[in-house]
Amino acid sequence: MSSDHRDTNEMLSITVAGQKQLSDLLQEKDSFTESLRANMAATQRELEAGVQAATQEAETLRGALEEKDKQLGGMKEDNSHLKVGLQYV
């Protein structure tokens, strides 16, 4: 009887230790998951800020390009007038 009692206690101790390990692992998993979610949210905010900055820069560059195109058109027109003027000289 004493041997059976010892065996039962040993099995219960092993079971309790296993349950504690599982509980610790679940807690660690939950903590890690929460950390990943926080990192994901921060990364998402950084990505959105980067996209917004890139979009604004693209708009600025588009405006500058349009202005340069207008200037080039004016310069071509001036050049054409100068060529016509040189033909009469």
For 48-57, what is each residue's pLDDT tens digit? 999 999 999 9
**44: Cα separation from own chain's centroid:** 5
- Label residue 85 by pLDDT band (50, 70, 90): confident
> Can you give the residue ranges of every domain in the chain?
1-89
> Two tokens at 60?
């600025």
For 11-39, what is each residue's pLDDT tens digit? 999 999 999 999 999 999 999 999 999 99
* Per-residue confidence (pLDDT) for residue 71, from 0 to 100: 96
* Per-residue confidence (pLDDT) for residue 28, from 0 to 100: 98
